[in-house]
Structure 1
Amino acid sequence: MSTMGELDSDFYQSNYTIDNQDQDYNAAAYGNPYGLREQHSMEPHPAAFIPPEMSASSGYTGQYFQPTYDSSYYSQSAYVDTFGEEPPLLEELGINFDHIWQKTLTVLNPLKPADGSIMTETDLAGPMLFCIALGATLLLAGKVQFGYVYGMSAIGCLGIHALLNLMSTSGVSYGCVASVLGYCLLPMVILSSCAIFFSLQGTIGTISAIIIIGWCSLSASKIFSSALTMEGQQLLVAYPCALLYGLFALLTVF
């Protein structure tokens, strides 16, 4: 009986379990013919993603990856925001109302000395405005002459540009010649405005046209002689200018 009791005690004190027996049986039946047991690690697997709530509650006192502000970098950066220092849009386009007004006053007063530094600028805003005004006043007088106005202006500027480059030592650009001749077209606009109200085909109209031609040619020659330092050559420059403005006078009178 003592022997049976010892066997019973040994049986109950063994590590045998039914789960292990089933696991061994399944391993042998489904691909583990040697009966090897799988060793399960008791260590927990690392989590693939830890929510910020859990990391905050875990007592983590480190610093997250956040950009730091470096004042020295921004103060010494090569980039400087110069948007407030940019010139106005009209100046970038070459439109300066102050210079336009000064050139207009110089043309209206042939006896006033011209400022050569201003007259050498290739400002075409005023000339385009006066050409459009001349065509518009001729249109109001019943004459559609926009093509003739632009065509004679371009050809006349080419001729006088070539002439001035031959006469002066410094030379002149085509834009400067077009600018000066366009501004000096203002008295012709006044003559064409008079043609709206009464006819110029008579003695009074002829005398008015001659006066306007002399006015335009003297203003243009004065500006060219002062800008190109052509002393004593104003009358020589005024003659071809008078021929050009005479064509515009013919369009206005007839």
Structure 2
Amino acid sequence: MVGGVRVETRHTGTDTLDEPVLTTIGRDAFSIYVKLIQVLYPPKGGNRDLLKEWDLWGPLVLCLMLGIILSINAPATQSLGVFTSVVVIIAVGSLVVTVQAKLLGGRVSFFQGLCVLGYCVAPLDIAALVSTFVRLIYVRIPVALAAWAWCVWASVNFLDGTKIEPQRILLAVYPLLLFYFILAWMIIIQ
């Protein structure tokens, strides 16, 4: 009872308050690794149980990594603008796609959507890293387009698991195509 109101808490059975910091960091790093593996090779329909335990650390790291890689390759006068653009595009794009999935009847929480869309940026990080060392446009274009297709494929596999009606799935996929294509285009023109 708190102030005359009965408060029920849900206990998961694990007490992490007194565990060492390295244990917490290790557990979180392993969780990020498992989710990255799911993005790099997503199962059909997405793993809903894994995504119930959403986090924003992995997407934040992937977003910052893409922004840093692209800003390093940009001219000095444009590097801050490139970094800011990448962070804003990922944040706003994830927000818009998640809200649209919810409006289309998808059974996904807001932070689950942000988590998945953030993790799906991982192939673009790989493409940006390759483009850093290989400056030939004939290599950058196919690598960036392959990463774009990979991001969309991983995201669509997740959307299949959100129970959006089949006739509405194209409405959810179109913003994904645009969202990841803008980032892929930034990699191509860097």
Q: In which range does the TM-score fall when normalised by the shorter chain?
A: 0.7 to 0.9
Distance 1:212 1:169 in 2: 25
Q: Which contiguous aligned blocks of 4+ residues in structure 1 show a shift greater than 6 angstroms?
A: 90-93
User: 2:184 is matched with which residue?
Assistant: 249
Question: CA shift at 1:208, angstroms?
Answer: 2.2
The one of the two structures with greater contact order (alpha-carbon pairs below 8 A, sep at least 6) is 2
Identical columns (%):
27
User: 1:184 is matched with which residue?
Assistant: 120
Length-normalised TM-score, structure 1: 0.57
Give the AA of the match of 2:40.
L
> Secondary structure at the residue paired with 2:137?
coil
> Secondary structure at the residue paired with 1:96?
helix
User: 1:229 is matched with which residue?
Assistant: 163
Which of the numbers 136, 145, 157 marks the counterpart of 1:210?
145
Which of the numbers 79, 84, 100 marks the counterpart of 1:147?
84
Give the AA of the match of 1:178.
L
Contact 1:200 1:253 in 2 (8 A): no
Greater helix proportion = 2
Structure whose alpha-carbon radius of gyration is higher: 1
CA deviations over 1:58-110 (Å, ceiling 9, x no partner): xxxxxxxxxxxxxxxxxxxxxxxxxxx731358989x7333322211111114
Contact 2:44 2:157 in 1 (8 A): no
Give the AA of the match of 1:86.
D
User: 1:166 is matched with which residue?
Assistant: 103
Going from structure 1 to structure 2, the CA distance change for 1:86 and 1:157 (only over 3 Å counts) comes to same
Going from structure 1 to structure 2, the CA distance change for 1:116 and 1:90 (only over 3 Å counts) comes to farther
User: 1:16 is matched with which residue?
Assistant: none
User: 1:201 is matched with which residue?
Assistant: 137
User: 1:175 is matched with which residue?
Assistant: 111
Q: How many equivalent residue pairs?
A: 166
User: 2:55 is matched with which residue?
Assistant: 123
Distance 2:160 2:44 in 1: 13
Going from structure 1 to structure 2, the CA distance change for 1:159 and 1:91 (only over 3 Å counts) comes to farther
Query: What RMSD over aligned residues (CA atoms) do the two structures have, in Å?
Result: 2.6
